[in-house]
Structure 1
Amino acid sequence: MNKRVLLASITSFAALLCLAGPSHADEAADGLARAKANLAKYQAKPEFVAPGEPFDAMACAKGKKMLSIPNNSGNPFLKGIIDRMKTAGAEVGLEVREWENQGQPSQWVQGVEMAIREKYDIIDLISGIDPGTIEPQLKAAKEAGVKVMTSHFYDPSFEQNPVVSSSLTIGFGEIGTILADWSTVATEGKANIAIVVSNEVPPTIPLVANFKKQLAENCPNCKIVQEINVGVTEWGTKIQPAVQSAVQANPEINVVIPIYDSMSQFVVPALRLAGKTGEVKLATFNGTPFVLDYIQQGLADMDIGESLDWIAYATIDGHLRDACGMKSPTALNVPFYIFDKNNAHEAGTPAQFDTGYGDAYKAGFRKLWGIE
Structure 2
Amino acid sequence: MRHLRRRSGFVLVAGTALTLFASACSSGTSPNSSSTQVSSGSASDSAGVAYASKQVSLYGAVPTFKTPGPPVDVSKVKGKSVFVIPLVPNPFNQSIQNTMQYLANKAGIKYTIYPNQGLVSQWVQAFNQALAQKPDLIILSTAPDPRELQPQLRAAKAAGIPVLVTHFYDESSPAPPKCLACGAGVTALETAPFYRAGRAEADWMIADSGGKAHVLIVSSNDILPSPPTVAVIENELKAHCPGCTYTDVNVPVSEWNTKVGSTVSAQLQQHPDINYVDCLYDAMVQTAVPGVQLAGKAGQVKVVSYNGSTFALKYIQDGNVMGMDVGEPTVWIGYAVMDQAFRILSGAGALPNETTPIRIWDKSNIAQAGTPPSLTQGYGNAYVAGYDKLWSVTWPGYTG
Normalising to structure 1: TM-score of the pair? 0.89
2:363 maps to what in 1?
Answer: 341
State the SS of the aligned residue for 1:154.
Answer: strand
Question: Which amino acid letter does the alignment assign opposite residue 105 of structure 2?
Answer: A
* Residue 301 in structure 1 maps to residue 323 in structure 2: yes
2:313 maps to what in 1?
Answer: 292
- Are the counterparts in 1 of residues 193 and 355 from structure 2 also a CA contact under 8 Å? no
State the SS of the aligned residue for 1:332.
Answer: coil
Shift of 1:136: 0.6
2:158 maps to what in 1?
Answer: 143
Superposed CA offset, 1:296-347 (max 9, x none): 0012111111111000011000122123332423333321111110111111
* Residue 87 in structure 1 maps to residue 102 in structure 2: yes
2:282 maps to what in 1?
Answer: 261
Superposed CA offset, 1:74-111 (max 9, x none): x3311221122111221212233322111111111111
CA distance in 2, matches of 1:329, 1:39: 29
1:329 maps to what in 2?
Answer: 351
Q: Aligned match of 1:270 in 264, 281, 291?
A: 291
1:115 maps to what in 2?
Answer: 130
1:208 maps to what in 2?
Answer: 230
CA distance in 1, matches of 2:110, 2:48: 49
- Are the counterparts in 1 of residues 216 and 274 from structure 2 also a CA contact under 8 Å? yes
* Residue 197 in structure 1 maps to residue 213 in structure 2: no
* Residue 71 in structure 1 maps to residue 124 in structure 2: no
CA distance in 2, matches of 1:124, 1:205: 26
CA distance in 2, matches of 1:89, 1:72: 21
2:377 maps to what in 1?
Answer: 355
CA distance in 2, matches of 1:128, 1:250: 36
Q: Aligned match of 1:54 in 64, 68, 71?
A: 71
- Are the counterparts in 1 of residues 193 and 356 from structure 2 also a CA contact under 8 Å? no
Shift of 1:253: 0.6
CA distance in 1, matches of 2:346, 2:220: 37
Shift of 1:24: 4.9
CA distance in 2, matches of 1:96, 1:204: 32
CA distance in 1, matches of 2:84, 2:246: 38
State the SS of the aligned residue for 1:363.
Answer: helix
Higher mean displacement: 170-179 or 122-131: 122-131
CA distance in 2, matches of 1:324, 1:142: 18
CA distance in 2, matches of 1:282, 1:79: 26
- Are the counterparts in 2 of residues 195 and 258 from structure 1 also a CA contact under 8 Å? yes
Question: Which amino acid letter does the alignment assign opposite residue 272 of structure 1?
Answer: Q
Question: Which amino acid letter does the alignment assign opposite residue 32 of structure 1?
Answer: V
CA distance in 2, matches of 1:298, 1:172: 26
- Are the counterparts in 1 of residues 143 and 166 from structure 2 also a CA contact under 8 Å? no
Superposed CA offset, 1:135-182 (max 9, x none): 011110121121111111111343411121111122211111111111
Q: Aligned match of 2:203 in 177, 181, 199?
A: 181
Shift of 1:206: 2.6
Q: CA 1:319–1:206 in 2, change beyond 3 Å: closer, same or farther?
A: farther
1:370 maps to what in 2?
Answer: 392
Shift of 1:234: 1.5
Q: CA 1:157–1:365 in 2, change beyond 3 Å: closer, same or farther?
A: closer
Q: Aligned match of 1:234 in 240, 255, 260?
A: 255
Question: Which amino acid letter does the alignment assign opposite residue 141 of structure 1?
Answer: A
State the SS of the aligned residue for 2:43.
Answer: helix
Shift of 1:183: 1.3
CA distance in 1, matches of 2:255, 2:246: 22
- Are the counterparts in 2 of residues 155 and 206 from structure 1 also a CA contact under 8 Å? no
Query: Alignment RMSD, CA only?
Result: 1.6
State the SS of the aligned residue for 2:164.
Answer: strand
Q: CA 1:253–1:24 in 2, change beyond 3 Å: closer, same or farther?
A: closer
Normalising to structure 2: TM-score of the pair? 0.83
CA distance in 1, matches of 2:123, 2:190: 20
CA distance in 1, matches of 2:209, 2:352: 35
Q: Determine what percentage of the aligned residue pairs are the same residue.
A: 40
Q: CA 1:258–1:92 in 2, change beyond 3 Å: closer, same or farther?
A: same
Q: Aligned match of 2:49 in 8, 32, 38?
A: 32
Q: Higher Cα Rg: structure 1 or 2?
A: 1
State the SS of the aligned residue for 1:303.
Answer: strand
Superposed CA offset, 1:11-51 (max 9, x none): xxxxxxxxxxxx95222222222212222221221111221
Total equivalences in the alignment: 347
